[in-house]
Amino acid sequence: MDSEALIIFFFGGVLMVGVGVLVSNLVAPSSKNTQKDEPYECGIPTQGPSMIQFKVGYYLFAILFLIFDVETVFIFPWAVVMKKVGMAAFIEILIFFIVLGLGLLYAWKKKALKWE
Amino acid sequence: MNWLYDFSYLTGGIHNSLSEHFEPSTVTLIEMILAGVAFMILFAILGLVLVYAERKVSAFFQQRLGPMRVGKWGTAQTLADVIKLLMKEPLMNKNADSFLFNLAPYIIMIAAFMAMAALPFAKGLHALDFDIGILYVSAVSSLGVIGILLAGWSSDNKYSLIGAMRSGAQIISYELSVGLSLLTIVVLTGSLQFSTIIESQANGWWIFKGHISAVIAFIIFLIASTAETNRGPFDLAEAESELTAGFHTEYSGLKFAFFFLAEFANMFIVSAIGATVFLGGWMPFHIGGWVGFNNIMDYIPPIFWFFGKVSFIIFLMMWFRWTFPRLRIDQLLTLEWKYLLPVNLMNILIMAFLALMGWHF
C-alpha cells in the first residue's frame, strides 16, 4: 500500500468519532436545565468571559519552539546522510550547532526561558 | 505456523487471493478498507486493555486491588465504562464555540489514528512503510496539540483554557526532545524508514550497540515522550487538584471518552516508536556473532517481542506516574529548555562523532 492509504486512516478517525457521537446522541437521555449550560467552575457563577487574552509567556515559548523545530527539520536530512558524507557533514553540523547554541544562549540571557 | 513469524505470508496470501477475483484498483481499495477496519479494532482493544492495565497497575502501586467487581478480576470494567459513557448526556456550555468544541475530538483521534498507521507490528505486518517513517510519525502525532488547544479554548471555561495553554506549551517544547533523541539513532541507521531501522538491529539493539549516547538518548526519549503524552509527573495540563480536568473539563459522555482513548493511543504510539528505534521493534534479542543464541531467540515470534517491549515501556510510564510528584510549569519548561535540549544537542554531536569514527558496534 502507498501513501494514498492515508486517506483511509484519515476517514477511519473521522468515522470512529462520528459513529460514536451519533450512537451516543441516539441512546443518551436529554433533559433541559439552565444550570447545565453553565461552565463547570466548582459551582460558583463564572466571573467575566473566559475567551480572553492570555499570558504572553506561552506565546514566547511557541516562538522559541518554532525556531528550534525548523532547525530540527534541517537536522533530519543531515542525520540520514551523515555516515555517507563523513567528516565534512560533521564539521558542518558543528558550525550549525554552534550558531544554534548561540541562539539558545541569547534567549537564555534575555530571560526568555525564565517563567514569570 | 509460519505466518506467525513472517506476516508477509498472510498479507501476501490475502493479496493473491483478492487479485484472482478483482481488478488491481479494487484490490487496493479492499485492502485499504481491511487495514482501516483492522486498525479500528486494534484501537478499540488498545483502549480497553490499556485503561484496565492503568487502573490495575495504579492500584497495585498503592496496595489496592483496583476494579474487581465487573467480570473476573474486573476485566470487564472498561467495557462497562464505555457503555456508561455512551449513555451519558452530551453537554455543552451556552457560550461555548460549538463548531470548535465538536471538532476537537475529531482532530485528536485523527492524529492518533494516522500516526498509528506507520507502526511496524511484526515482520511484514505494517500498513504503511514510508521511507520517511520517523518524520511522518512525529509530524502527524504533533497535530494532536491543535485538538487540545481547540478543546480548551472553545469550552469557555477558565480551567480548560489554562489546561490547554499549559498543554500546548508542554507538548511543543518536548516535541523537540523527542525528535532530536530519535535523530541520535537515525545518525547510525542512515534511514528514517522503520523497516530499515529494524533490520539494522539484527545483530543487537541500538541501545546496546550505540554506546552511552544511545542510552542517554533513550532516557531523554522516555522523559520527553511521557511529557508529550501529558502523563505522569508532567500531567499538569489536567492536574485534577487544581484544574478539575484541564482541557476536557467541559466534555461529557463519549466525547470525553475519545480524549481519554486518544491519550492511551498516543501512549502506545510513543512506546512503539521507542521500542522500534531503541529496542529493535519486533527484532528478537540478538547478540552479534552468537548464532546459536540468536536462533533460540528467533523461536519467540516477532509480534510477541514487539508487544512485550511496548508493554515494558508503557509500564515504565505508569511507574513514573506513581513515583514522581507533579512538576510546576516553570520547572517543566526549565527541564526541557535548559537541560534536555542542550544535552540532546551535545548527544547528537557525540553520536555523530562515534558513527564517524566507527566506534559503535
pLDDT 10s digits, B328-342: 888 888 888 888 888
Task: Give the three cell numbers for residue B13.
Answer: 496470501
Task: Give the three cell numbers for residue B300.
Answer: 519467540
pLDDT band at A103 (very low <50, low <70, confident <90, very high): confident
- What pLDDT was estimated at residue B34? 82
* First-last CA distance in chain A: 50
Q: Taking CB atoms and an 8 Å limit, are A17 and B109 in contact across chains?
A: yes
Dihedral of CA A46/A48/A51/A54: which sign?
negative
Q: Taking CB atoms and an 8 Å limit, are A39 and B169 in contact across chains?
A: no
pLDDT band at B3 (very low <50, low <70, confident <90, very high): low
- What pLDDT was estimated at residue B236? 77
Domains identified in chain A, total number: 1
* Residue B44 resides in a domain: no
- Tell me phi and psi for residue B281, to 5 degrees: 55, -125
* Residue B199 resides in a domain: yes
- State the residue for C-alpha cell 557525540: B350
| DSSP 8-state assignment for residue B89 | P
For chain B, the average pLDDT equals 83
Full domain range(s) for residue A95: 75-116
- What pLDDT was estimated at residue B11? 74
Query: Which candidate from A13, A54, A89 shows the least CB-CB separation from B109?
Result: A13
Q: Taking CB atoms and an 8 Å limit, are A83 and B158 in contact across chains?
A: no
* Residue A65 resides in a domain: no
Quick check: B225 pLDDT over 70?
yes
Q: How many CB atoms lie under 10 A from the CB of residue A12? A: 24
* Residue A70 resides in a domain: no
Classified as helix, coil or strand, B47 is helix
Q: Taking CB atoms and an 8 Å limit, are A16 and B88 in contact across chains?
A: no
- Give B72 to chain A, closest Cα distance, Å: 27
Window from A47-51, B106-110, B350-354 with minimum mean pLDDT: A47-51
Listed residue (B21, B70, B17) closest to B48, CA to CA: B70
- Give B224 to chain A, closest Cα distance, Å: 14
* Residue A30 resides in a domain: no
**Tens digit of pLDDT for each residue in B69-114?**
888 888 888 888 888 888 888 887 777 788 888 888 888 888 888 8
What share of chain B in percent tops pLDDT 70? Answer: 97
* Residue A114 resides in a domain: yes
Q: Taking CB atoms and an 8 Å limit, are B158 and A38 in contact across chains?
A: no
Burial of B232 (0-12, 13-18, 19+ CB in 10 A): buried
**Tens digit of pLDDT for each residue in B88-98?**
888 877 777 88
Average of per-residue pLDDT across B183-212: 83
Query: Which candidate from A16, A42, A51 shows the least CB-CB separation from B156?
Result: A51
Which residue pairs from A73-77 have beta carbons closer than 8 angstroms and sit at least 24 positions apart in sequence?
Answer: A75/B180, A75/B183, A75/B348, A76/B135, A76/B179, A76/B183, A76/B186, A76/B192
Task: Give the three cell numbers for residue B281.
Answer: 521493534
Quick check: B241 pLDDT over 80?
no
A77 vs B296 pLDDT, higher one: A77
Average of per-residue pLDDT across B3-8: 69
For chain A, the average pLDDT equals 81
Quick check: A114 pLDDT over 80?
no
- What pLDDT was estimated at residue B166? 84
* Residue A51 resides in a domain: no
The secondary element (H helix, E strand) that includes residue A23 is helix A5-27
- Give A87 to chain B, closest Cα distance, Å: 7
What letters, b where the CB count within 10 A reaches 16 and e where it falls short, cover B77-93?
bbeebbeebbebebbbb
* Residue A63 resides in a domain: no
Q: How far is residue B226 from each of residues A54, B113, B223, B314, measured CA to CA in Å? A: 26, 19, 5, 10
* Residue A26 resides in a domain: no
pLDDT band at B2 (very low <50, low <70, confident <90, very high): low
Quick check: B1 pLDDT over 60?
no
- What pLDDT was estimated at residue B361? 63
* Residue B32 resides in a domain: no
* Residue B203 resides in a domain: yes
- What pLDDT was estimated at residue B205? 81
**Tens digit of pLDDT for each residue in B13-61?**
777 777 777 777 777 778 778 888 888 888 888 888 888 998 899 899 8
B112 vs B126 pLDDT, higher one: B112
- Cα(B10)–Cα(B4) distance, integer angstroms: 9
- What pLDDT was estimated at residue A39? 75
Helices (H), chain B: 2-5, 8-21, 24-61, 77-86, 98-116, 133-141, 144-154, 158-189, 194-199, 206-209, 211-228, 240-243, 253-278, 291-298, 302-323, 329-334, 341-357
* Residue B218 resides in a domain: yes
- What pLDDT was estimated at residue B296? 78
Dihedral (Cα; B257, B263, B264, B266), 10-degree rounding = 140
Quick check: B272 pLDDT over 70?
yes
CA nearest A89 in B: which residue?
B352
pLDDT band at B281 (very low <50, low <70, confident <90, very high): confident
Window from B3-7, B230-234, B284-288 with minimum mean pLDDT: B3-7
- What pLDDT was estimated at residue B238? 72
B242 vs B190 pLDDT, higher one: B190
Quick check: A1 pLDDT over 60?
no
CB B273 within 8 A of CB B135: no
CA nearest A28 in B: which residue?
B87
**Tens digit of pLDDT for each residue in A14-37?**
888 888 888 888 888 888 777 777
* Residue B239 resides in a domain: yes
Q: ipTM value of the model?
A: 0.85
Full domain range(s) for residue B237: 96-357
Q: Which residues on B lie below 8 Å from A97 (Cβ)? A: 345, 348-349
Query: Which candidate from A1, A21, A62 shows the least CB-CB separation from B127?
Result: A1
* Residue B115 resides in a domain: yes
Domains identified in chain B, total number: 1
Average of per-residue pLDDT across B306-328: 88
* Residue A37 resides in a domain: no
* Residue B49 resides in a domain: no
Interface test with A, best of B174, B250, B254, B258 (most A CBs within 10 A): B254
Which range has the top average pLDDT, B107-121, B231-245, B289-303? B107-121
Task: Give the three cell numbers for residue B335.
Answer: 527541564
Contacts of B338 (CB under 8 A, 6+ apart): A108, A113
